[in-house]
Amino acid sequence: MLPLHDILVVSCEQAVAAPFATRQLAELGARVIKIERPGEGDFARGYDTTVHGQSSHFVWLNRSKESMALDLKTDAATVHRLLERADVFVQNFAPGAAERLGLGADALRARYPRLVTCSISGYGPDGPYRDAKAYDLLIQSEAGLVSVTGSAEEPAKAGIPAADIGAGMYAFSGILAALYDRERTGEGTHLEISLFDSLVEWMGFPLQYTAGGGEPPRRTGTSHAAIAPYGTFRAGDGVEVVLGIQNEREWTAFCAGVLARPELAADPRFDTGARRVEHRPALHAEIDAVLAGLTGAELVDRLAAARIAHGRRREVAEVLEHPQLAARDRWATVDTPGGPVRTLLPPITLPGRPPRLGPVPAVGEHTDAIRAWLDEADHR
């Protein structure tokens, strides 16, 4: 029996942040009823057609849920029949839309005191940005993530929807905390999660660095603004290996065991972390000169022997075949309306209790069954 087996979640969700949060709940055993627009459903269903004709985003975010097609403007009664039995209500409507539909937090909390409500928005329920569009790239830009990502010449957005994922995870953890609190108090509560707040929290190191030093951390590609050597280096056969040397002990071991140049550790340009950052181009030149004479396999062997933190810079297709995922049996198969797909197991593992890995639903696939369940429950 999974921890959330008796929890009912009703979610008026679309795009990424809210579906990501509720998928985590579903995989821990919660019953998640996803309310979708009749016909088109969640607009994320149309992002692309790469997975058996379906959206890669939607397949990623919506396994293990039930889909109910419902016009919220004309059938509010059905929503409230669900909410009478629900433990959690999640929504990521545009600002003010929940209130206009009679689904605002204040109204729901008054009517259903044990209900945990969670609103996910771009910038929060007030402030000058309240009504601003809040696509992931826009939030990454406003939160400063783009300014610290990329190369020295060109900023870049993160290659994944970082703001959406951050907000989804804070919603997930907040809901768990609220459910625990309800066990002690008997009362639900309301959670306000914004993409902007979530991503600004993740920007803690750059914000502290800038506030303390007066200058923002420099964009350094895969390198680090405050640590060197740190980032991607290339062996003579073209294999790219990522290094992370974070203290003087490791630096000394790296010079002796990997570069075979122990005297480099005491070079006055490189004998402290700050000096290595200051003289990064010269440092990289010294390292590159040695690595050019090594194969990738030789370099990895030396790094392992010297106990230096390292990793391969892998392309996405290589991650699909990553030996660690294979060795730990981290892949599973789930059904989708377009056919079965390989998918990763959730990161949260419970010994002896496998996660729920139910199919990805078609739009409104469970509408009739949910209505029948409600009718039956009403007549008990």
pLDDT tens track, the chain, 380 positions:
999 999 999 999 999 999 999 999 999 999 999 999 999 998 999 999 999 999 999 999 999 999 999 999 989 889 999 999 999 999 999 888 998 999 999 999 999 999 999 999 999 998 898 988 889 989 999 999 999 888 888 898 888 999 999 999 999 999 999 999 999 999 999 999 999 999 999 999 899 989 998 888 888 777 777 788 998 999 999 999 998 898 899 999 999 999 999 999 999 999 889 899 999 999 999 999 999 999 999 999 999 999 998 998 888 898 999 999 999 999 999 999 999 999 999 999 899 999 999 999 999 999 999 999 999 888 87
Encoded amino acid at 345, one letter: L
CB atoms within 10 A of CB 171: 26
Task: Note the pLDDT of residue 104.
Answer: 92
Same fold? 8-203+322-378, 230-312: no
Q: What is the pLDDT of residue 117?
A: 97
Q: Give the CA count within 13 Å in the CB-facing half-sphere of 188.
A: 21
- Is position 310 annotated as part of the catalytic site? no
Within 13 A of 315's CA, how many CA atoms are on the CB side?
A: 3
**Contact status, residue 288 vs residue 299, Cβ threshold 8 Å:** no
CA dist 23 and 43 (Å) reads 17
Which of 80, 190, 224, 279 does the annotation list as catalytic? 224
Domain ranges across the chain: 8-203+322-378, 230-312
User: Residue 321: what pLDDT?
Assistant: 93
- The CATH class that applies to domain 8-203+322-378 reads alpha beta
pLDDT at position 325, please?
92
> Any alpha helices (H) in 145-256, and if so which ranges?
162-185, 195-202, 204-213, 248-253
Report the pLDDT value the prediction gives residue 246, as an integer from 0 to 100.
86
- pTM, two decimal places: 0.87
Instruction: Name the residue among 226, 20, 17, 243 with its Cα closest to residue 135.
Output: 17
* Closest C-alpha among 7, 11, 38, 31 to residue 368: 38
Neighbours of 48 (CB within 10 A): 13
Using DSSP's 3-state secondary structure scheme, residue 240 falls into strand
CATH level 3 topology of 230-312: formyl-coa transferase, domain 3 (3.30.1540)
